Amino acid sequence: MENMFCSQCQEAAKGTGCTIVGVCGKDADLSALQDLLVYVTKGIAIYRTALITKENECKKSADFIIESLFMTITNANFDDASFVKAITEGVEMRNKMKAKALELGIENELFNHDAATWELDNVNTLLEKASTIGVLSTENEDVRSLRELIQGGLKGIAAYVSHADKLNFDNNEIALFVDKALVATLQDLPVADLIALTLETGKFGVDAMVLLDNANTTSYGHPEITEVNIGVGNKPGILISGHDLKDIEELLRQTEGTGVDVYTHSEMLPAHYYPAFKKYSHFVGNYGNAWWKQDKEFVTFNGPILMTTNCITKPKDSYINRVYTTGSVGFTGVKHVADRAEGGEKDFSEIIEQAKKCDAPTQIEEGTIIGGFAHNQVKQLAPQILEAVNTGAVKNFVVMAGCDGRMKSRDYYTEFADELPQDSIVLTAGCAKFRYNKLDMGDIGGIPRVLDAGQCNDSYSLVVTALLLKDALGLESINDLPIHYNIAWYEQKAVIVLLALLHLGVKNIKLGPTLPAFLSPNVVNVLVDNFGISGINTVEADLKEFGLN
């Protein structure tokens, strides 16, 4: 019997969907609560689209939608109580907007939609309600597939917009699009309209990444080439993971002079590339690898761990008392650091005090890795890179951005990178890089063969790099470049990266290690016919297909 249905990430059970319990660890109740929270955002979006022209100040509801969608991303929040709270607040917010719309005499057919009218009489009936609005309540598999694709993209946009918002950068056009797209998933739109909306989601994905890039670089400077230590020091440390740069900014400031060092884990590695953070001498290095190895690496780290965004996995008893969540992340039984008050900072003092009593991290690796090849840095290296292209020392670029994950089949990416010809350069971003960033791939005339731009949101930087190369080489289209795309995906931020690449006109992307379970055969055909998307094969076959062996 099916208890739940979720197919939003790459590890969906049996390549179709998790039905008993999530491979990620989420159970049926949590899955239902997540679906219901997304449904609540759709109800709010109905009233926002109706009210927005009459009222300018709607930031509170826009923020609520963004933070709620972010909470439902894979491996972000495993705390049922946070979802019950958000659903309750959301229905209340929706009802206030409903009253306002009535007061203003606004009429709209969608006000009769269940998402706009259902009432939360009793929290005990939440699960019952959720069972009527889940993914499978859409019967047509193509419509369901496109709705899931759009919804996944919106969750990715929400993550990036949320980060930008923390740095006081926002873009109301994106918020308005999110409303429109959420509402569209409730309507009986023809497949052609949903396909158009999918591509439009990609356009706003680009806008969200541009917004975040602007927010990050204005606040913290442009990433620079940086050698990051992967060994350890002899002082106790705090390990910070996830994508939130505002959190690491405040943590570094609050730990300065306390005798506690700071280390990054997984997607926080690229924080080392920013001038604003490099200046701290107690910002020691990166500890460990991609998110899914945390159950081993958090044990040997010995000190407290702060999870600022996904990906969190179920903490083991041996270290659960050292784990803290903050922002959109949550886990039942794990301490949560409260949001900053207006104009204030988060208070990390409890974590710092705990760290002082812990042992220094146990060394698990040594040496350095290099990164910081975001667009501004690449621009400065452009003459060197172009010369290498013109002399034939560099013949190909391979974009291997995206996510990492647990599946054994992801060994493919290590092997693929390892077997690339010596005249190829890998452009990467996201936690996918941990599959090959410690291989000794060498350099070409001083240019490292793996150029890491940063986090998954910095995949945008790779497109700027491609455009730069296209212009410098006098080509008409980025598809004329000697560049291949072999993207690894896992969660919904990678979905928006993919849709953004499609919007920018990138063709012939390989997507793996498996295609999304939520894509119906017809939707796959649309992607194949229009964009040349394909799944991965063997390393040998794929290298051959790219003309790289």
Tell me if 456 contacts ligand SF3 by CB under 6 A. yes
Structure tokens at 107: 């009429």
Q: What is the CA radius of gyration of the chain?
A: 23
Quick one: 79 or 247, whose CB is closer to ligand SF4? 79
> Across-strand partners of 55?
none
Nearer to ligand SF3, 43 or 156 (CB): 156
With CB under 6 A as the contact rule, the residue among 1, 2, 3, 9 that binds ligand SF4 is 9
Give the nearer residue to ligand SF3 in terms of CB position, either 61 or 201. Answer: 201
Separation of alpha carbons 438 and 442, rounded Å: 11
> Which of the listed partners (ligand SF4, ligand SF3, none) does 268 bind, with a CB threshold of 5 to 8 Å by partner kind?
none
**Scanning residues 296 to 355, which ones bind ligand SF3 (CB under 6 A)?**
310-311
64: exposed, middle or buried (Cβ count in 10 Å: 0-12, 13-18, 19+)? buried
Question: In terms of CB distance, is 179 or 213 closer to ligand SF3?
Answer: 213
The correct pick among 148, 200, 244, 267 for binding ligand SF3 (CB under 6 A) is 267
Nearest to 12 by CA among 491, 527, 538: 491
Quick one: 258 exposed, middle or buried, by C-beta within 10 A (0-12, 13-18, 19+)?
Answer: middle
Is the separation of the CB atoms in 416 and 486 below 8 Å?
Answer: yes
Residue 543: other Cβ atoms inside 10 A: 21
- Minimum CB–partner distance for residue 41 and ligand SF4 (Å): 18
SS3 482: coil
Nearer to ligand SF4, 23 or 52 (CB): 23
Q: Give 28 or 268: the residue with its C-beta nearer to ligand SF4.
A: 28
* Three-class SS of 374-399: CHHHHHHHHHHHHHHHHCCCCCEEEE
Q: How far apart are CA 346 and CA 324, in angstroms?
A: 13
Q: Which of 34, 185, 264, 266 binds ligand SF3 (CB under 6 A)?
A: 266
């219901």: which residue's tokens? 36
Stretch that binds ligand SF3, among 44-52, 249-257, 343-351, 488-496 (CB under 6 A): 488-496
Report the residue number, 70 or 490, with the smaller CB distance to ligand SF3: 490
The residue from 115, 161, 355, 431 that contacts ligand SF3 (CB under 6 A) is 431
Pick the piece of the chain touching ligand SF4 (CB under 6 A) from 1-9, 62-70, 170-178, 200-208: 1-9
For residues 270 and 430, which CB has a smaller minimum distance to ligand SF4 in the complex? 430
Site string for ligand SF4, 15-34 (x = CB under 6 A): ---x---xxx-x--------
Minimal CB distance residue for ligand SF4: 22
**Residues 350, 352: Cα–Cα separation, whole Å:** 5
Residue 508: name the closest of 547, 471, 470, 474 by CA.
Answer: 547
Which tokens belong to 3? 């208890």
Q: How far is the CB of 114 from ligand SF3 (least distance, A)?
A: 33
Minimal distance, residue 60 CB to ligand SF3, in Å: 27
* DSSP letter assigned to residue 169: -
Site for ligand SF4 in 485-544 (CB under 6 A): none
Q: Map the footprint of ligand SF4 across residues 312-371, applying CB under 6 A.
A: none
Whether 393 contacts 445, CB under 8 Å: yes
**Crossing angle between the packed helical segments 492-503 and 459-472, to the nearest 10 degrees:** 20
Site mask for ligand SF4 (CB under 6 A), range 68-107, x = bound:
------x---------------------------------
Shorter beta-carbon distance to ligand SF4: residue 73 or 369: 73
Q: How far is the CB of 101 from ligand SF3 (least distance, A)?
A: 38
On whether the CB atoms of residues 416 and 544 are closer than 8 A, the answer is no
**Per-residue H/E/C for 299-361:** HHHCCCEEECCCCCCCCCCCCHHHEEEECCCEECCCEEECCCCCCCCCCCHHHHHHHHCCCCC
Indicate whether 491 belongs to the interface with ligand SF3 (CB under 6 A). Answer: yes
Residues engaged in binding ligand SF4 (CB under 6 A): 6-9, 11-12, 18, 22-24, 26, 74
Task: Tell me which residues touch ligand SF3 (CB under 6 A).
Answer: 75, 243, 266-267, 291, 310-311, 403, 430-431, 455-456, 490-491, 493-494
